[in-house]
Amino acid sequence: MRIVAFGEGMIEVAGRIGATSVLGYGGDVLNVAVALARLGLAPAFMTALGVDPWSDELAAAWGAEGIDLSLLARHPARAPGLYGVRTDANGERSFTYWRSGSAARAFFELPESEALIARAADADLLFLSGITLSLFGPAERQRIAELAAQVRSRGGSVAFDPNYRPAGWESARAAANAFAAFAPRVDIALPTAADERLLHGEDDAAEAVLARWRNAGAREVAVKLGREGAMVWSAGELRRVPAEEVTPVDTTGAGDAFDAGYLAARLAGRPPPEAASFGARLAGETIRHPGAIPPRDAVARFTLAAS
């Protein structure tokens, strides 16, 4: 089973000036890749880094997690993006980004990009997000759509988390149009209800989110509902899956953990409701810890054999 995750990995700074800060790494697609690797699936992460020491350290850390770096490009003049994260008393996070000149954004400018994309087209599962699309312009997004079509034509599947972040788009309409254009290439849609309401309006209920992706052609949809769990649709069956009660320390990466758990369980042949339950439990453990990626030992007990 060959999994390709396409997106951006960044340096993560957690803490405050004048206090102890912690350097880590994160990025929605990268978070999913790390979680999948910890579940034994060895995904390939397609992205670009620089040739600087920070890039080398990121690549070494990702490789140590079990991520396949054979689709990693190197930009001769750009460095990784960076984001700062802060949490409030309820564990809700806020972000500040420094990523406009990152190496990942210049992926398609690199001479090796087409060869890497050609190799990615053989994936059994391609995973990407709305943030992936936001990194690039219309021509590059069309190339990503072509990659998704190639994966599907060769018998693979495409999983997509819209993951709408307003700061990455010139307007909500631009994001909605980009997602709608990509939607017909999606087999497994993993939207978050709160993000979709932000994009489409406060009256956009979970059922409407599900219907929108189903009507676009997705064969299964798992709508993440935060504390309320998830709503899952597949093969004409609609199920609500509850989440465990958790007191969050940091909600960063919760949706990414759900995505990874859901996809890993589905690849193992588990039915969608069971996959959503596994994803919800993995997300619940993730938000008990600071940062986008929890300590390895904190999630070691989450195995599909024990799900």
Q: Are 224 and 193 in contact (CB under 8 A)?
A: yes
CB contact at 8 A, 67 and 45: yes
- The residues assigned a catalytic role are 256
d(CA 295, CA 233): 32
Q: Residue 100, Cβ neighbours under 10 Å: how many?
A: 7
Q: Rounded CA gap, 249 and 89, in Å?
A: 8
Contact predicate 133/179, CB 8 Å: yes
Pairing of strands 44-49, 22-26: unpaired
Asked if residues 230 and 258 have their Cβ atoms less than 8 Å apart, the reply is yes
Cβ–Cβ under 8 Å, residues 14 and 291: yes
